[in-house]
Structure formats: C-alpha cells, structure tokens
Structure 1
Amino acid sequence: MIREIIKGCQKRHRASQKKLYKMFYAYGMSITLRYADSRDQAALILNDAFMKVFTGIDSYNMKRPFKPWLRQIIINTAINHFHKHENELKLEQLEAARNKMDSRETIISSISYEEIIDMVQQLSPAYRTVFNLHVIEGFKHKEIAEMLDISIGTSKSNLSKAKNNLQAILQKNFI
C-alpha cells in the first residue's frame, strides 16, 4: 500500500500526497514537538518537512524503508529551522537546580507524555535541540556539533544545562 502511495507522490498526484501526509502526520509531529517552542511551530516545521519530502520523493530508494528516510528529513528540517531562527531567539540562562529530588522516580513515572513535551518545550531552542538530538535521537556530541555547527564542548554544555533546567522545571511543577 505504501509503495503505491509513494509512486503516486512521485507522479505528483495530490491524492497520494494527502494520503502520505495523513499516514505519517502523527509520527512527524511526535518528532517536531520535541524541537519546537509550540504546537504551531511544530506543525510549521512538519509542513516544511513534507514539502521537502514531496519535492525530493524521486530521490527515495524504494528498496529501503520509508520511515527512516522521512525521519531524517524531519530532523534536518527542524535543525534548519533552528539555524534560521537562532539569531532571532534569546538563549535562556536559568540557574541550575542544585537540590536532588528524593522522589524523582515516583514523580517521573506519574508524568504524562504531554507534560514531558511541555517541559522540553520550555527549554531554550539551543538546549532543546541538543537534548533531543542526544537523548531522544541518540546522536553523539561530535555528530551534534557538526550538524549544528557548534563545538563539541558547547554541545556537552548545552546538554548539561538542558538537564539542569528540566530538573528545575520538575521541581517547580511537581514538588
């Protein structure tokens, strides 16, 4: 079924494009929400990614799985969005939470997915992007540094600050 939809997209059939979009919308949003400031911004990034998918669908190799190809386009689009807007955005500097939470595991296990996404979205774009690429996507600091055109040290620092900020957000909201 997916092969027929992709072939239709390669022929620029709008009905096939619509089917592909609907089929992978939730999957795409689950990725872009981790990088965006808001749901609206996540939808904007996802729409940009799908435009890239539709214009570059001819380069897709049908012998390979579609989902990883799509995922990489979505992540690259989110990174490009970050680069495009990083000069417009202030980088937040919040004081790190110094107190260890005694009931960390209990609190974390009771937090919903939506609450976690909301907390991640409260991070500055620089911290959020490095956090997602390292913790969620599994990239190494060297890869992140190359993707974001930053030093490895900056990547490590941003991850540490992101974790500290998330701890502060957890303490503020759940303790």
Structure 2
Amino acid sequence: MFFRKRPSFAENDIDSVIEACRNHDAQAQRVLFKKFYGYSKSICLRYSATTEEAEEVLNESFLKVFQRLHQYDATHPFKAWLRSILINTAISYYRKYHKLDMSSLEAGQDVPFEDDVIGQISADEILALVQQLPPAYRTVFSMHVVDGYSLREIAEVLQSNEATIRSHFLRSRQRLQQAIRSAYPHLFPSDPAIPIRYYEN
C-alpha cells in the first residue's frame, strides 16, 4: 500500500507555507497559489483588458513570487508584498506588449460622480467598464482609486511626472463616466452630474 507523503508544512500557517516554498516545495507552492488565487486574480483583472491577459499577468506574477520569496520580509504583511508584485508585473506586461504610453493621452478636467448612481451598478459591471479604458488610463485609475496609491507614488512607479498622472486620472474619470452613461442611461433621467471617490495626495 502506498501512502501520500505528509507535507513538511502546516497549510493553515502562512509562514510555514512560505518557508516551504523557499525550499522549493512544489506542494507548498500549489497551496500558496491556491490560497491567494482569488485575491490575485481580482487585482490582475483591474489592470487587464481581458480575462486571458489577466491570467498571463497572474501566472507571470507567481513565477516572480516564487523566485523572490527570499526577499520577502515576514515582519510585513504578505498580501501587501504580493500586491506590489502583481501591480508591477501588470505594468511591465503592458509596457512590453501594449506600449503603455504615459505621455500621449489627452488632458482632462475633473468630473463629479454621484454615489447613488455608482451604488446601483455591481462591482463586476464597473470592472468591465474599467477594463475598456485605454491601458494608461486603466492603470492610473486602478492604482489610485482601488489600490490607494497617491498620484505622486503613481508617478514614481510609472516614471512619469505628477501633472501627467493627474491629467490621466481625471481623463479616466471622464471616460468612465461616459461609459456608465452609455451603458446605463436609465440611471440618468435628468442627466445629473455624477462620484467615484479618489484619494488626495
């Protein structure tokens, strides 16, 4: 009779799983991937135009995770470290395959949104509209609104200037507002101006 080899780690102990991954334990790597798959996929989808692209970014990100686990400082939250790899990988992906250009898009003006309108649209529906934004707009919008980066931090990550990033963010809000009005005209019977909250620097 053959017996399954007992794992060298405790599946419910993230530190134990990570340590086993550092020792190239394939079973631990599968556990880590499965444990953070949903969280990671949701981030990749925000920065990708399609589900297929999100999967590519996700797989590439986890390759980097396993290669760089020796750099992870266990005194800090693992999710935060993982998130930075996911976002940076998504940015690198679009620079490589879609020429993420932070300088060629038009400037924009701030556009107000109303909470009662956004509240009537599901998260999946909003995500689908965000995915339709041009890569530069989508990246800046997701980093600022969803992941909480300041415009200054985004400028540093994308190697751009803060004024350009602010312009792209405002334009992304305009584009998203237009997309919402087009997709859900019944939500604007009197065509009011409508908010997506964003972080101040």
Q: Does 1:87 align with 2:99?
A: yes
Name the TM-score, length of structure 2 as normaliser: 0.77
Q: Please give the alpha-carbon distance, in whole angstroms, between the structure 2 residues aligned to 1:60 and 1:146.
A: 22
- In structure 2, runs of 5+ residues without a counterpart are 1-12, 186-201
1:87: Cα distance to partner? 2.4
Q: Please give the alpha-carbon distance, in whole angstroms, between the structure 1 residues aligned to 2:159 and 2:129.
A: 25
Larger radius of gyration: 2
Q: Does 1:7 align with 2:40?
A: no
> Which residue of 26, 36, 52 maps to 2:64?
52
Q: Does 1:148 align with 2:158?
A: yes
- In structure 1, runs of 5+ residues without a counterpart are none
What does 1:1-175 correspond to in 2, within 5 Å? 1-87=13-99, 104-175=114-185
1:153: Cα distance to partner? 1.7
AA aligned to 1:61 is: D
Q: Structure 1 residues 146 and 64, CA, compared in 2 at 3 Å: closer, same or farther?
A: closer
Q: Structure 1 residues 106 and 44, CA, compared in 2 at 3 Å: closer, same or farther?
A: same
What percent identity do the matched residue pairs reach? 37
Contact 1:45 1:77 in 2 (8 A): yes
User: Aligned residues, how many?
Assistant: 172
1:83: Cα distance to partner? 1.9
Contact 2:94 2:135 in 1 (8 A): yes
Q: Please give the alpha-carbon distance, in whole angstroms, between the structure 2 residues aligned to 1:24 and 1:164.
A: 33
Contact 2:49 2:132 in 1 (8 A): yes
For residues 58-82 of structure 1, the C-alpha deviation after alignment (integer angstroms, 9 at most, x for no partner) is 1112232211111111111112112
Q: Secondary structure at the match of 2:46?
A: coil
1:93: Cα distance to partner? 6.9
1:88: Cα distance to partner? 7.8
Q: Please give the alpha-carbon distance, in whole angstroms, between the structure 1 residues aligned to 2:100 and 2:137.
A: 15
Contact 1:92 1:124 in 2 (8 A): no
Structure 1 outlier segments of 4+, above 4 Å: 91-94
Contact 1:21 1:50 in 2 (8 A): yes
Q: Structure 1 residues 116 and 88, CA, compared in 2 at 3 Å: closer, same or farther?
A: closer
1:107: Cα distance to partner? 2.9
AA aligned to 1:24 is: F
Q: Please give the alpha-carbon distance, in whole angstroms, between the structure 2 residues aligned to 1:56 and 1:68.
A: 14
AA aligned to 1:39 is: T
Q: Please give the alpha-carbon distance, in whole angstroms, between the structure 2 residues aligned to 1:17 and 1:33.
A: 22
